[in-house]
Amino acid sequence: MATAAFSTSAGYRDLRRMVLGQEMVLFIAIVLLFVVVGLINPRFVAERNISSIFLGNAYIAVAAIGMSMVIISGNIDISVGSLIGVLATIAGTLALNGVPIIICWLAPLVIGIAITSGMGAIVAYLHIPSIVVTLGMLSILKGGLISVTGGAWLTNLPPEFFLSQTRLFGIPTPIYFMVGLTIAAAFWMRLSATGRAIYAVGGNVEAARLSGIDPAATVVKAFAIHGFFVGIAAVLFATQLSVIQSTVPPNLELTIITASVVGGVSILGGTGTVIGSTLAAVLIAAIASSMIFVNISPFWMRAVQGILILVTVLADLWRRQRQRMGT
Amino acid sequence: MSVEARATRAPFAYHHELLLLIVLVLVVGFLAVGTDKFLTVDNMLNQGRLMTEVALVALPMTFIIITGGIDLSVGSIMGLAAIMLGVAWKNFGLPLELAIVFSVAVGAVAGFFNGLLIIRVRVPPLIMTLATLALYRGLAEGISQARSVRGYPEWFFVLGQGEVFGVPTQLWILLVAIIIFWIVLAKTTFGRSLYAIGYNEEAARFSGIPVDRIKLIIYSLSGTMAGLAGYIFVSRVSTTRSDMGTGLELDAIAAVVLGGTSIFGGVGTIAGTVIGFTLIQLLKNGLALSGVKGDATIVVIGTVLILSILVSNFLQRRRGAGG
């Protein structure tokens, strides 16, 4: 896996991988979904609905970018849903107390980075598995949030706080964040030394160490950058409605991890791209929305999500098996 | 990293359970001083009733984690089994006795499906059960359409709300389950095989251990116990809802890991798990009685989980360095 990430040769292989890769499959799936459901019910492809699909789920895509990096490094973060809730509440509380809006938007980023770096350091230097550390953190954040806020909603926020409700050239701001951050992260993962190191550590720790990479520091960096994206996701989430609830959508962490995995990030570490995870986030949101338009009860949504993960994982394993036989 | 942890680990030199037992005694003592409502027979029995579902699921989870696997779908299986119990009884018109058997069987099949894909297609357990966490919960929600089933006859509640010899009925079941799981893990070839698989799966395979069959059995067992826990849950709360058991997997895993079972596999005991879920339940309850608001207790549990792993890792490494 690590060798695949390091192979710089053969533009042909890159092209082939792009055409046959997860990104293309997801892209075609999204287009097909819009065409088919659009034919059944034209209101599905109305600008209003498409815009609301992107708007309501951009924060999931942004969080999935960070999650993808953590998973590529061979770890996982199941506290991410609670962390988004905590950071959103912090942003809102600051805004209510008259703190300058720009600081309300930046504070979640800083605190997010601090918390995830802390978790990363425990994982990397104290050798405690990420699933245990983030499981503990999930309890701490979730319980902490509800006991501090008492379940109360934040209302009467200053109007200039609502970043997600603004538009630029008629397009909602969160979409710029989603697209811009995905492209930036994709380049960073491919071209920067740290980005390559994250792939290397996830693929084969020993090989990475022997090639002069510090695995522990790399894992901490992956978590820190994840915190940055979670911070942005929290701001997008906090500013999209006129109130901030002290709870996040149930199983938010599952949806974010699903986006990463369906996007082609191998849970074993070492492979995957952030473009895939963003496309997957869009696909999942589009499927959820389409079910309403073709009169399927939304209660089936989670079953569809589960089947989607299963199918993707099976396809991924099948493809790898074929590749192994091919070479 | 896992390689390093494995090398410095001395499995039998250091007794995590003993440390935990001391912590448990300290916690109970501390909480008993804080409020006189905590250390009473009634309260203790009631806490036992409340923890049974998590405990029943944590036992097979111990087996699974010892082999280096994990089962995130148990909470969803519990929800699905509960829904199928109600549906089989109300909609299919099965006698309630058969509906109960059917719901536990649904749990077994759900677990079997996890195991089958894990051994046949080699899907990593974390991702397989993450997918079925969504799938089984989705089936529960889809089948029930968020409608609850009530109106069970009086005898149905004996298991969840009744008593036998003054002790909640389900605690007897838990006691039997603990003894069986303890004997199987500590005294049988099957139990030894679980450690072998978790310590080195390839080596276990080469020494002729039927690794795949064992995995299939423990994941099916996990599903079955989750189904049983679903039945007990319905019997305890008198109603069937599709969101039952949400987050149960995290409680069960926390109990197992707190009990000293290594998430890397190869190490763990039933005694540790029993102390683990008892400690979590008593902490929750004791803190609530001492006036800590309900949700703040989750914070304490998360902290205890991380700290206990830190301390045990630290002690093990010192052992490893010293010996």
Domains in chain A and their CATH numbers? 2-7+17-34+43-322 (1.10.3470)
Q: Are A281 and A66 spatial neighbours (Cβ–Cβ below 8 Å)?
A: no
Average pLDDT over residues A94-116: 88
Q: Which of residues 67-86 of B touch A (CB under 8 A)?
A: 70
Residues of B in contact with A261 (CB under 8 A): 127, 130
CA distance A307 to B223: 19
Cα dist from B10 to A71, A176, B218, B315, B316, whole Å: 29, 53, 26, 10, 7
Secondary structure letter of residue A277 according to DSSP = H
- Cβ distance B130 to A143 less than 8 Å, yes or no, reads no
Residues of B in contact with A307 (CB under 8 A): 135
Q: What is the pLDDT of residues A153-204, one digit of tens each?
A: 777 777 777 777 777 787 788 888 888 898 888 888 888 888 888 888 888 8
- Cβ distance A215 to B122 less than 8 Å, yes or no, reads no
Q: Are B130 and A306 spatial neighbours (Cβ–Cβ below 8 Å)?
A: no
In chain B, the percentage of residues whose pLDDT exceeds 90 is 38
Q: What is the pLDDT of residues A25-41, one digit of tens each?
A: 788 888 888 888 888 88
- B236's CB contacts (< 8 A; 6+ apart) are B49, B53, B157, B159, B160, B161, B170
- Cβ distance B142 to A303 less than 8 Å, yes or no, reads yes
- B120's CB contacts (< 8 A; 6+ apart) are none
Angle (nearest 5°) at CA B120 between B119 and B123: 65
Alpha carbons within 13 angstroms on the beta-carbon side of residue B263 total 24
Q: What is the pLDDT of residues B173-221, one digit of tens each?
A: 999 999 999 999 999 999 999 999 999 889 999 999 999 999 999 999 9
CA nearest A52: which of A292, A226, A248, A308?
A292
CA nearest B234: which of B161, B296, B323?
B161
CA distance B53 to B231: 9
Q: What is the pLDDT of residues B99-121, one digit of tens each?
A: 899 999 999 999 999 999 999 88
Q: What is the pLDDT of residues A40-59, one digit of tens each?
A: 888 887 877 888 888 888 89
Q: Which amino acid is at A296?
A: I
- Cβ distance B295 to A300 less than 8 Å, yes or no, reads no
User: Which residue does chain A place closest to B304, by CA atoms?
Assistant: A136
- Is B301 at the interface with chain A, CB within 8 A? yes
- A248's CB contacts (< 8 A; 6+ apart) are A81, A82, A84, A85, A88, A237
- B177 or B283, greater pLDDT: B177
- Is B43 at the interface with chain A, CB within 8 A? no
CATH no. for B46-313: 1.10.3470
Cα dist from A45 to A12, A41, A56, A278, B157, whole Å: 36, 8, 16, 20, 51
A120-125 LR contacts (CB < 8 Å, sep 24+) = A120/A75, A120/A219, A120/A220, A120/A221, A120/A222, A120/A223, A120/A224, A121/A220, A121/A223, A122/B306, A122/B310, A123/A75, A123/A219, A123/A223, A124/A215, A124/A216, A124/A217, A124/A219, A124/A220, A125/A216, A125/A220
Q: Distance, in angstroms, between A165 CA and closest chain B CA?
A: 31
Sign of CA dihedral B187, B193, B199, B204: positive
φ/ψ bin of A325: left (φ > 0), alpha (ψ from -120 to 50), beta (otherwise): alpha
Q: Are A57 and A282 spatial neighbours (Cβ–Cβ below 8 Å)?
A: yes
Say yes or no to pLDDT of B320 above 70.
no
Q: What is the pLDDT of residues A271-317, one digit of tens each?
A: 778 888 888 888 888 888 888 887 788 788 888 888 888 887 787 77
The H or E element that residue A58 is part of is: helix A47-72
Residues of A in contact with B295 (CB under 8 A): 142-147
CA distance A163 to A229: 16
- Is B119 at the interface with chain A, CB within 8 A? no
pLDDT for B8 equals 44
- β A171-172/A167-168 pair status: antiparallel
Residues of A in contact with B250 (CB under 8 A): 135, 138-139
Residues of B in contact with A313 (CB under 8 A): 123, 127-128, 131
pLDDT for A93 equals 87
